[in-house]
Structure 1
Amino acid sequence: MILSYCLNPNCSEPQNHPSLKHCQNCGSGLILHSRYRSIKKIGKGGFGTTFLGIDLSLPGNPFCVIKQLRPSSNDPETFQMALELFEREAKTLGKIDHPQIPRLLDYFEDGKHFYLVQSLVKGKNLQQEVKQNGIFNESQVKAFLKEILPVLKYIHGIKMIHRDIKPANILRREQDGKLVLIDFGAVKDQVNTQLANKNYGQTAFTQFAVGTMGFAPPEQLAMRPVYSSDIYAIGATCLYLMTAKSPKDIPSDELTGELLWEKQVHLSAGFIKILRKMLEVDVRNRYKSIDEILTDLEIVPYEEQLEQNLLTHNKSIPTQGTEPDTGDNTYVSATSRLAMAIRARKSRQGRSKYVAQVTAQSILTAYAQGRIDFSQQVFNHFNFSDSNIPHINFRNSKLIQAKFEDCNLEGANFYNANLTGAIFTKANLKNVHFFKANLQGANLQGADLENTNLENANLEDANLCGANLINANITEEQLQQAQTNWATIFPDGKRHIW
């Protein structure tokens, strides 16, 4: 039985029977806006409380997230000002249309509280992920940046600042392993700032903290956020991913306020340079745009390799005290030589993609060195048998008749992958994402598919004999298309009698 949960912050016994329309303890209404019923409190902060709810107006009563924003002032004029600002900023949130940001479904004022209703995203946040799986290495953090920065670029492109980026506000979506940016501070901080500017002082929302200490830069804490405030917060999030420490727990320079983080991590010089610029306390020295970071992430590896090549090359050139003769007496600056070398290297690497031989062993070697993303590639007939490659990403890849016998693939991502005829016998496939994957004719005999997502996967003629399907997301229709036997353990934990 799913209980109803009273949204009155002062209610001492908020749990109620689902059939009740008013709280049996405090008398508050349990049906919000004649449409939503709260069933569980899932978060609380200075700004308000977040609840898991259901939408009673839609078929199937789908889950949703209800965010209660609590102004504290009883002054009618102040409350009216806060309400107008809230509505304006909520309308701005409603314009967001991005697959990695939850949709705003509704917003309203009810009983002197403000509410936002958003679509529910199932998954763990990055704070939980670090606590469960351990810290990220440099390659994983770079992959994180390359995925989350384009989402942030979209936000900035529609003239918005997130204002509360931190590991707890970035989810890894259970459905496909994609990162999702949640819990915008835009409404809260815009209301805070404008009320403060109108001399309303510590009233309405202004009593609450702006952003999250450690992740918010100085100008945001002073209620003057800019686009690069989000860039600082992303950099601080990277520190958490690599250390499992909140930035406020990392020592700082007493004179400048700069975080003394470099001794806490083991990174290449080029990546340290990027993070250092993201974490500049002085906004004038920080990255101004997302594109600048993405460009540096692309160029730094070439710069590092070029620098090493130049050092090696210079050792073999006698020092004459003059520039080498170029033949046409044209002087080329060091910066220009660097740019030309980078372009040449990119060109050579682009051509090498067509001639380099990719093998299963080269994939495993790259994985061992920290790379996990092998999406949108062709690995037909590759043999990965007996490999230990958890959380590897083969999203949208072609793996026709590939071999994964006795592999540890726990948490791997095969979203929309073509796995026709692939062999997964006795493989560890716990928590694997097979959403929309083509597993026609695949052999999963004896595989452990506990908690695996097989939603919309093609299982025609797939062999599930002896497979463990406990809590797997799979339909009866899919099971009928596949081969099962007396040894198959079905999602309910039972074996069928044949």
Structure 2
Amino acid sequence: MILSYCLNPNCSEPQNHPSVKHCQSCGANLILHNRYRSIKKIGKGGFGATFLGIDLSLPGNPFCVIKQLRPTSKDQETFDMALELFEREAKTLGKIDHPQIPRLLDYFEEDKHFYLVQSLVKGKNLQQEVKQNGVFNESQVKAFLKEILPVLKYIHSLKMIHRDIKPANILRREQDGKLVLIDFGAVKDQVNTQLANQNYGQTAFTQFAVGTMGFAPPEQLAMRPIYSSDIYAIGATCLYLMTAKSPKDIAADELTGELLWEKEVRLSAGFVKILRKMLEVDVRNRYKSIDEVLVDLDIVPYEQQLEQNLFTHSKPVTPPPNLESESNDNTYVSATSRLAMAIRARKSRQGKSKYVAQVTPQSLLNAYSRGRIDFSQQVFNKFNFAHANIPNINFRNSQLIQAKFEEANLEGANFYSANASGANFNKANLRKVHFFKAELESADFRGADLEGANLEGANLDSANLCGANLTNSNITEEQIQQAQTNWATIFPDGKRHIW
């Protein structure tokens, strides 16, 4: 039985029977906006609380997230201003339309509390992920940045600042393994800032801290956030991912306030330079925009590629044609000059060939063994990964036509929207693999372990599931009918069906 949970912050017995409409302890209304019922508290902060709820107006009563903002001031003028700011900022949040940001479903005021209702995203946040799986290495952090920074760039394009970026506010979506940015501080922080600017004194609003200590830079704590405040918070999040330490637990320079983080991690010189600039206390020295960070992230691996092959150490990198010298003589060109020319060549979109390191199955496995897991949006057709041990590898949107994965360990791997038609997964470990929207036509899954795998939206036309274990997998009856099965196939209910 799913209980109702009273949203009155002063209620002594908030749990109620689901059939009642008013709290049996304090008498508060349990059905918000004639539509939403709270069932569980899932978070609490200085400005309110977050609850898991259900939408009673829609078929199936889907889950949602209810965020309650609690201005405690009894001053009517203060409340009226807060209500106006809340409505204005909530409308701004309503303009967000991005697949990696929860959708705003509703906003309203009831009993002098403000509410935001958002779609529910199932998954673990990065703080939980680090505690469960351990810290990230450099390649994993770079992959994190390359995925989350474009989401933040979208937010900034709407002239919004997130204001509360931290590991607990970034989820890895269970459905497809993508990162999702949650818990926007736009409403509460705009209320805080405006009321402070209007000289309302130390009201209940201005007493609340803006952002999270350790992740928020000085200018944000002073209620003057700018776009690069989010960049600092992303950099601080990287520190947590690599150390499992909150930035406030990392030593800082007593004179400047700069975090002394470099002794906590082992990173390449190029990436250290990027993090230093993200974590600058002085905003004049910090990155001004997301694009600046992305450009530097794009250059760093190419800089490393000039020194050694991206995947292997056995062959030297061959520079692009005419890169080492502008003329036909043998004039010496310094390493710095070669790097500059290489970067210019890489950025050139037309008329010049660009060197691309040759990737082989073995070079990919070597890269994986050194910590790289992201191999998304690449072409690996007919590659042989038989017996490979590559759990949690990311093949999102990659081409894997007729690739061989016999008896490979791919547990937790991400094949989101990948094309693996005709691939051989015979007897492979595919537990909890994300095949969401993957092209799997004629793929061979005989004897494969697909327990808990997500096959939602995947094309399984003529795929061979004979002897496969589909226990608790996300697959429809229609998909099963498209594929081949036999008496040895274990279906999602954990049973073999007698034909």
CA contact (8 A) 1:47 1:209 kept: no
Helix, strand or coil for the counterpart of 1:489?
coil
Deviation at 1:304, TM superposition (A): 5.4
Task: Evaluate the alpha carbon distance shift between residue 285 and residue 423 of structure 1 in structure 2; reply closer, same or farther with a 3 A threshold.
Answer: same
**2 CA distance for matches of 1:464 and 1:306?**
45
Q: Which residue of 2 aligns with 1:320?
A: none
The one of 346, 352, 355 equivalent to 1:352 is: 355
**2 CA distance for matches of 1:480 and 1:337?**
58
Deviation at 1:256, TM superposition (A): 1.2
The AA in structure 2 aligned to 1:482 is A
**2 CA distance for matches of 1:451 and 1:380?**
26
Within-5 A mapping of 1:367-386: 367-386=368-387
**2 CA distance for matches of 1:361 and 1:305?**
18
Deviation at 1:74, TM superposition (A): 1.2
**2 CA distance for matches of 1:302 and 1:382?**
25
**1 CA distance for matches of 2:28 and 2:346?**
67
Counterpart check, 1:362 vs 2:363:
yes
Task: Evaluate the alpha carbon distance shift between residue 281 and residue 430 of structure 1 in structure 2; reply closer, same or farther with a 3 A threshold.
Answer: same
Task: Evaluate the alpha carbon distance shift between residue 235 and residue 476 of structure 1 in structure 2; reply closer, same or farther with a 3 A threshold.
Answer: same
Q: Which residue of 2 aligns with 1:26?
A: 26
Deviation at 1:377, TM superposition (A): 2.4
Q: Which residue of 2 aligns with 1:251?
A: 251
Alignment RMSD: 2.6
Helix, strand or coil for the counterpart of 1:285?
coil
CA contact (8 A) 1:155 1:162 kept: yes
CA contact (8 A) 1:70 1:205 kept: no
**1 CA distance for matches of 2:338 and 2:354?**
21
Q: Which residue of 2 aligns with 1:392?
A: 393
Consecutive unaligned residues of structure 1, counting only runs of 5 or more, are 310-325
Count of equivalent residues? 479
Q: Which residue of 2 aligns with 1:218?
A: 218
**1 CA distance for matches of 2:201 and 2:481?**
65
Q: Which residue of 2 aligns with 1:323?
A: none
Helix, strand or coil for the counterpart of 1:478?
helix
The AA in structure 2 aligned to 1:351 is K
Deviation at 1:439, TM superposition (A): 2.0
The AA in structure 2 aligned to 1:342 is I
CA contact (8 A) 1:217 1:233 kept: yes
CA contact (8 A) 2:416 2:438 kept: yes
Q: Which residue of 2 aligns with 1:109?
A: 109
**1 CA distance for matches of 2:156 and 2:126?**
22
Helix, strand or coil for the counterpart of 1:43?
strand
**1 CA distance for matches of 2:441 and 2:83?**
55
CA contact (8 A) 1:488 1:495 kept: yes
**1 CA distance for matches of 2:353 and 2:296?**
18
CA contact (8 A) 1:446 1:467 kept: yes
Deviation at 1:457, TM superposition (A): 1.3
Deviation at 1:208, TM superposition (A): 1.9
Helix, strand or coil for the counterpart of 1:206?
coil
CA contact (8 A) 2:346 2:354 kept: no
Q: Which residue of 1 aligns with 2:432?
A: 431
Deviation at 1:349, TM superposition (A): 10
Which digits, 9 at most, give the CA deviation of each residue in 1:183-219, with x for residues without a partner? Answer: 1111111110111111222224222221001000111
Q: Which residue of 2 aligns with 1:445?
A: 446
**2 CA distance for matches of 1:283 and 1:88?**
28
Task: Evaluate the alpha carbon distance shift between residue 18 and residue 300 of structure 1 in structure 2; reply closer, same or farther with a 3 A threshold.
Answer: same
Q: Which residue of 2 aligns with 1:14?
A: 14
Deviation at 1:337, TM superposition (A): 6.8
Q: Percent of aligned pairs with the same residue?
A: 86
Within-5 A mapping of 1:45-60: 45-60=45-60
The AA in structure 1 aligned to 2:144 is F
Deviation at 1:231, TM superposition (A): 0.7
Consecutive unaligned residues of structure 2, counting only runs of 5 or more, are 310-326
The AA in structure 2 aligned to 1:107 is Y
Q: Which residue of 2 aligns with 1:313?
A: none
**1 CA distance for matches of 2:177 and 2:426?**
24
CA contact (8 A) 1:411 1:429 kept: yes
Counterpart check, 1:182 vs 2:185:
no
Deviation at 1:359, TM superposition (A): 2.3
Within-5 A mapping of 1:35-46: 35-46=35-46
Helix, strand or coil for the counterpart of 1:284?
coil
Counterpart check, 1:264 vs 2:256:
no
Within-5 A mapping of 1:89-168: 89-168=89-168
Deviation at 1:235, TM superposition (A): 0.4
**2 CA distance for matches of 1:301 and 1:485?**
48
The AA in structure 1 aligned to 2:148 is I
Q: Which residue of 2 aligns with 1:206?
A: 206
Which structure is higher in helix share? 1
Counterpart check, 1:490 vs 2:496:
no
Deviation at 1:308, TM superposition (A): 9.7
**2 CA distance for matches of 1:327 and 1:253?**
52
Task: Evaluate the alpha carbon distance shift between residue 466 and residue 334 of structure 1 in structure 2; reply closer, same or farther with a 3 A threshold.
Answer: closer
CA contact (8 A) 2:166 2:237 kept: yes
**2 CA distance for matches of 1:81 and 1:226?**
23
Within-5 A mapping of 1:281-430: 281-303=281-303, 339-344=340-345, 351-353=354-356, 357-430=358-431
Deviation at 1:344, TM superposition (A): 4.2
CA contact (8 A) 2:345 2:354 kept: no
